Amino acid sequence: MDSRAPGRPKVVADSADKRGTILRSARELFSDRGFDRTTMRAIAKEAGVDPALIHHYFGNKNALLVAALQPEVDAKTVFSGITPETDAPGEIFVRRVLEFWETNPQQRARAIALLRVAVTHDEIAMRVRDFFLGLVQRALGDVVRSDHQDERYALVVSQTAGLAISKYILLLPDVANAPIEILARRVGPNIDNYLFSDFDG
């Protein structure tokens, strides 16, 4: 007897392949048409699947967008070596972030696309926020002070996202054209301040 809820598609043996096909099709259509003009039905047609299967895997279009465009960052690898004994961890963190974006243009493009859409879509903004907060926590969790940690992480995200927007979306010349080492030296102390300074009040 089939215990699935009515209307819920059967998960086939090649579900991982179908999920990957849906994600690839979604990336292409979101890139070509933009978020608002891309429908779930169009993605299903492009992927050669029933639209119900997309809802089964991802829930709604907002969740699908985040799944399709969320950068694939191995935080343990990218931020390895940042420990309580590390001098100027903020500078190292900023350098590693920028080096990752510069050497992984496809991942950078995904992050930029997410940031663009998040500005006008609350649910996507929430999911993007959670992604970046999780990334910062994994990168700096070993060095951050034990008090006010949520606030410290949030401030680091604000600095990091602001840097990404300034460099890759607004294209502010003094930021967009600056060498990574210069930006790391300029911005890194702000990160250290968020990580270690006394928070009064």
Can you give the pLDDT at residue 159? 96
What are the structural domain ranges in the chain?
15-68, 75-196
pLDDT < 70 regions, the chain? 1-14, 201
Can you give the pLDDT at residue 14? 65
Instruction: Give the span between the Cα atoms of 66 and 64, in whole angstroms.
Output: 5
Can you give the pLDDT at residue 31? 85
Helices (H), the chain: 15-33, 40-47, 51-58, 61-69, 75-78, 89-103, 105-118, 122-140, 149-168, 173-176, 180-196
Report, in angstroms and rounded to the nearest whole number, the Rg of the chain calculated over CA atoms. Answer: 20
* Buried b / exposed e along 7-29 (16+ C-beta atoms within 10 A): eebeeeeeeeebbeebbebbbeb
Supply 19's token pair: 């999920």
Can you give the pLDDT at residue 201? 61
Cβ–Cβ under 8 Å, residues 70 and 124:
no
Can you give the pLDDT at residue 10? 43
Cβ–Cβ under 8 Å, residues 121 and 36:
no
- Residue-wise pLDDT for 26-64, tens only, equals 999 998 888 999 999 999 999 999 999 999 999 999 999
Domain 15-68 classification at class level: mainly alpha
Can you give the pLDDT at residue 13? 41
Instruction: Output the pTM of the full model.
Output: 0.83
Counting every residue written for the chain, the total comes to 201
Domain 75-196 falls in which CATH fold? Tetracycline Repressor; domain 2 (1.10.357)
